[in-house]
Amino acid sequence: MKKKLVTSAFTLLLLLGLGTGVMAATNKLQCNVGDFKNMLPMMQEKNPNLSEKQLKEVHKDCVAKMKKETGMDCMNNN
């Protein structure tokens, strides 16, 4: 009985450890900020007073900020 319990606990820990490792390796930030065309309608809705040129600048700054904070290139994540 004790052997089954120890084996079950070890197996559970092993599976949790492997699952966490796989999730960490595949769970990258879903960054759709890199594509200005996809973001434009949402940005226009949130900032109706800005021109498209101004929105492009906001987008550019946002992508640069995300790269700096996360170390990820949003353009390659799409």
pLDDT at 25: 58
Phi-psi region of 47 (alpha: psi -120 to 50; beta: other; left: phi over 0): beta
What was the pLDDT predicted at 7? 92
Predicted structure pTM score:
0.47
Asked whether 75 and 37 are in contact (CB, 8 A), the reply is no
pLDDT of residue 66: 76
CB crowding 42-63: b at 16 or more within 10 Å, else e: ebeeeeeeeeeeebeeebeebb
First to last CA, the chain: 51
Tens-of-pLDDT digits for all 78 residues of the chain? 888 889 988 888 877 777 776 666 554 545 555 678 888 888 889 888 999 899 899 888 888 887 777 665 554 443
